Amino acid sequence: MTATRIHLRAGGVSLLLEYDASWANGLPRVLHWGNDLGRLGSRQLADLAEAARPRRGNSAFSVPGIPSLVPVEAEGWLGRPGLIGSRHGAGYVTRLAVTGHEEIEQGVRFHAVDDAAQIALDLTVTLSPRGVARLGAELTNTGRTPYDLEHLGLSLPVPSHATEVLSLAGSQAHERVPQRVPLVVGAHVREDRKGRPGHDAPLVLAAGESGFGWESGEVWGVHLAWSGNQVHAAERPHHGEAVLAAGELLLPHEVTLAPGETYSAAEVWASHGHGLNELAGRLHEEIRARATHPRTPRKVLLNTWQAVYFKATPERLMPLVDAAAAVGVERFVVDDGWFRGRNNAQSALGDWEVDRTSWPDGLKPLVERVTAAGMEFGIWVEPEMINPDSDLARAHPDWILRPGPGQGPDSLGLPSRSQYVLDLANPAAYRYIAKALHRLLDEHPVGYLKWDHNRPVTEAGHGPTHTPGVRAHTLAVYRLIDELKARHRGLEIESCASGGGRIDLGILARTDRIWASDCIDALDRQEVQRWTQLLVPPELVGTHLGPETAHSTGRTQPLDFRATTALWGHFGIEWNLARLPAEDLPVIRRWVELHKSLRPLLHTGRVVVADHPDPSLWVHGVVAQDQQDAVFAMTSLGKPATSPRGRVRLPGLDPSTSYDVRLLGPEGAGEPPWTVPSWLQGKGIRLPGRVLGSAGVQVPAMKPQQTCLLRLTARQA
């Protein structure tokens, strides 16, 4: 039998697949993923395959050593298996053979079967016009007895010059901390067992050439579009090629396929680039191409959490509505504290009715004030959660996911923020919550829900037998959001989980933005936002302007620095403006106006980060897709490594276009708080992108926590 080769080419990327049903395990292998190889004839593809074939060592298997998309023992892969399943142990060795393939839009679908194990596997591989590969898998039990699936993950090989792994780590209010390890023999495994990706999620697991940065170094990365338990791994076996792998992490017996039943794996998104800017840029464009991607200007919002915390009363919120309107806010979002009995984190989750003690006339007067001021109304919910101290828990204690049978608080497992997870896979619990949310949305003109999730989904025994319920819960949440979106047209939803604990393309497929972190200290936010944008484009990342002293760190920062940090994403304010002297509001308004004037560019352009050896200086920008317009920030984070700092290059510009470069700031705000260098005085300078990207420009003498904003406009001929 001869091998079949499929060469997908798009967006500057090639993905070359090969399969041969005569192999022990005939699943498709990837012969190349990376730079576009150009048009290749079948003879050239055969030669390439030959040249790629690894040498068989002594006592090695008699099969080619290139791992398949779902690598298993029967193909000679002795690393972490892509597929684990059996019928009480029987049929645990799988030998899937491809029976054929069909072309689909932007890619191919392979059909494979294993008659002995009585399973069928469909693999979908697409390469989008943006150069992003998306992999899917569906496993069907073709036998007559139940099939226990333990794992189904997808892998892509990375070449031997990928020697370094990058992923993110972190914790609540300290999300998205980058970490690097060498890609040596063995596996670097990132498991998330919290029922959500978590604050420490890898976000994108990347492997690249030694020292790869934002602008250079070839790099490959994968992301699992899934909001439940998951595993990402970078593995280099001694006997073959290294892979990046990702898949759902299944708990014991979480998936038992009945005869004829199919398990659909979460999609793996894979992006390649020369430098992380290119890798992330491809992902951004892929996300932007979705039909559901927000295409209207992102409404500047005010969120009440760090302004009033649980004291969401009319006395506090009414003046805040007026102050929000005065600075140009377009959406007013009432955070936690508005529902029955909710005065702190200890009680009331589950009792989704307006608190009549604080709100004797309901939310109507507030909503009217918001809408009369021309703003949209938004509100916070945490539908998946329940406090034991709630009417809901008292009425339905069996609706709580828990480790096992038993009464009393101990039987619920470890508490977190005094709350537990509602068993949404229980139809009665689902119906109750869906009804409560529909009622809230029917009774108020809500344009936006902030959907929170403040504890991990652990010890999550579902139903009367307390079987593992994380997957079922995740699917129930997806269903609930889909149902709300279908019934309440135009509703936007934010995914928040104690800040950035649930950021993934599964949740983003049905929501409209993520809350990156509860830490709005501008210094910390610089890092959080930079790394969140490794996956998520800026228009989907909530970036808020907070008070002078950040609540999470106690650090005090000037307004300019806080505003230039929040400027880039989906801009918001999280600050009790009602307490400010009236003369301060116009200053804030100028920043809001600056953001509004820039958002068409910021929310559609290409994000670029400049590599710079001084860690106290960060340079990043957004360049319009047509490269006619750009905004850059040079940010002084701390004490400079040298003084003066020297020049920085501005990447991502068109080399042959001439740009007018000038200082950017809010209209009428006057000089920045640092000495403006001669090259930025008056009308600024005019230089080609080639010069700006190679020779660069001098960094002004800024103190720590100061930013120089630049606007670059193509000179019209």
Angle formed at CA 190 by CA 188 and CA 193, multiple of 5 degrees? 150
Our CB check for ligand DGJ shows the closer of 135 and 421 to be: 421
Q: Between 565 and 604, how does the x/- string for binding to ligand DGJ read (CB under 6 A)?
A: ----------------------------------------
Q: Is the Cβ–Cβ distance between 243 and 132 less than 8 Å?
A: no
Min dist CB 607 to ligand DGJ, Å, is 24
Instruction: Tell me the backbone φ, ψ of residue 532, rounded to 5 degrees.
Output: -65, -35
Q: In this complex, which beta carbon is closest to ligand DGJ, that of residue 385 or of residue 602?
A: 385
Q: Which of 215, 330, 512, 518 binds ligand DGJ (CB under 6 A)?
A: 518
Closest to 136 in 3D by CA, of 270, 261, 268, 271: 268
Q: How many CB atoms lie within 10 A of CB 179?
A: 14
Catalytic residue from among 148, 518, 524, 629: 518
Residue closer to ligand DGJ, measured from CB, 283 or 522: 522
Between CA 458 and CA 548 the distance in angstroms is 37
Min CB(523)–ligand DGJ separation in Å = 19
Record the tokens describing residue 683, joined without a space: 């009308």
Hey, which residues does 556 pair with through a beta bridge? Answer: 549
Rule CB under 6 A: is residue 532 a binding residue for ligand DGJ? no
Piece of the chain touching ligand DGJ by CB under 6 A; list 186-194, 236-244, 258-266, 496-504:
496-504
Window 400-429: contact mask with ligand DGJ (x via CB under 6 A): ------------------------------
Q: Is 332 in the site for ligand DGJ (CB under 6 A)?
A: no
- Is 339 an interacting residue with respect to ligand DGJ (CB under 6 A)? no
452 is catalytic: yes
Interface with ligand DGJ by CB under 6 A: which range of 78-86, 368-376, 494-502, 550-558? 494-502
Task: CB nearer to ligand DGJ: give 99 or 549.
Answer: 549
- For 79-98, the three-class secondary structure string (H helix, E strand, C coil) is CCCCEEEEECCECCCCCCEE
Q: Which is nearer to ligand DGJ, 177 or 676 (CB)?
A: 177
Site for ligand DGJ contains 498 (CB under 6 A):
yes
Contact status, residue 400 vs residue 425, Cβ threshold 8 Å = no
Kindly state the smallest distance separating residue 530's Cβ from ligand DGJ, in Å.
20
Taking CB under 6 A as the binding criterion, the range among 21-29, 209-217, 495-503, 653-661 that sits at the site for ligand DGJ is 495-503
Question: Which amino acid would we find at residue 521?
Answer: D
Strand partners, 610: 619
Dihedral in degrees, nearest 10, Cα atoms 631, 634, 635, 640 = 180
518 is catalytic: yes
CB of 494 to ligand DGJ, least distance (A): 10
Of 258-266, 284-292, 491-499, 553-561: span binding ligand DGJ (CB under 6 A)? 491-499
- Cα atoms in the Cβ-side hemisphere of radius 13 Å centred on 539: 23
The one catalytic residue among 114, 452, 524, 654: 452
Instruction: Write down the least CB distance from residue 200 to ligand DGJ, Å.
Output: 16
Residue from 581, 523, 571 nearest 549 by CA: 523
Shortest distance in whole angstroms from residue 515 CB to ligand DGJ = 6
335 near ligand DGJ (CB under 6 A): yes
Beta bridge partners of 192: 230
Angle at Cα 186 formed by Cα 185 and Cα 187, nearest 5°? 135
- CA dihedral (657, 662, 664, 666) in degrees, to 10, reads -120
**Contact set for ligand DGJ, span 343-382 (CB under 6 A):** 380
Q: Name which of 19 and 338 has its Cβ closer to ligand DGJ.
A: 338
Rounded alpha-carbon distances, angstroms, from residue 20 to 100, 120, 205, 598: 10, 17, 30, 53
Torsion of Cα atoms, 16 then 21 then 23 then 29, to 10°? 20
Cβ distance 22 to 62 under 8 Å? no
Under DSSP, the state recorded for 464 is T
Write down the least CB distance from residue 188 to ligand DGJ, Å.
29
- Supply the DSSP symbol for 333: E
Bond prior to 615 in cis (omega within 30° of 0) = no
Query: In the numeric block, which tokens belong to residue 717?
Result: 């001929």
Nearest CB to ligand DGJ, comparing residues 68 and 306: 306
Q: Between 330 and 336, name the residue whose CB sits nearer to ligand DGJ.
A: 336
How would DSSP label each residue in 8-71? Answer: EEETTEEEEEEE-TTSSS---EEEEEEE------HHHHHHHHHHHPPPP-TT--SS----BSS-
Among positions 496, 523, 631, 653, the unique one binding ligand DGJ when judged by CB under 6 A: 496
- Find the binder of ligand DGJ among 175, 336, 376, 527 (CB under 6 A): 336
Question: Which residues in 275-314 contact ligand DGJ (CB under 6 A)?
Answer: 305
Q: Which residue is nearest to ligand DGJ (CB)?
A: 336
DSSP designation for 666: -
User: Closest Cα to residue 674, out of 711, 645, 706, 633?
Assistant: 706
Total residues binding ligand DGJ (CB under 6 A) = 11
Helix (H) or strand (E) run with residue 683 in it: none
As given in the structure block, the two tokens for residue 586 are 């116009």
Q: Rounded CA gap, 203 and 308, in Å?
A: 31
Of positions 328, 499, 605, 689, contacts ligand DGJ by CB under 6 A: 499
* Choice between 278 and 518, CB closer to ligand DGJ: 518
Q: In the bound complex, what is the minimum distance in angstroms from residue 598's beta carbon to ligand DGJ?
A: 25
CB of 496 to ligand DGJ, least distance (A): 5
Q: 220 or 352, CB closer to ligand DGJ?
A: 352
In the complex, least distance from residue 452 CB atom to ligand DGJ, rounded to whole angstroms: 5
How many CB atoms neighbour CB 554 within 10 A? 8
Q: CB-wise, 516 or 709, nearer to ligand DGJ?
A: 516
Q: Is the dihedral of CA 72, 209, 227, 454 positive or negative?
A: positive
Shortest Cβ 307–ligand DGJ spacing (Å): 11
Site track 439-478 with ligand DGJ (rule: CB under 6 A), x = hit: -------------x-x------------------------
Residues of the shown chain interacting with ligand DGJ in the complex, contacts defined by CB under 6 A: 305, 335-336, 380, 452, 454, 496, 498-499, 515, 518
Active site residues: 452, 518
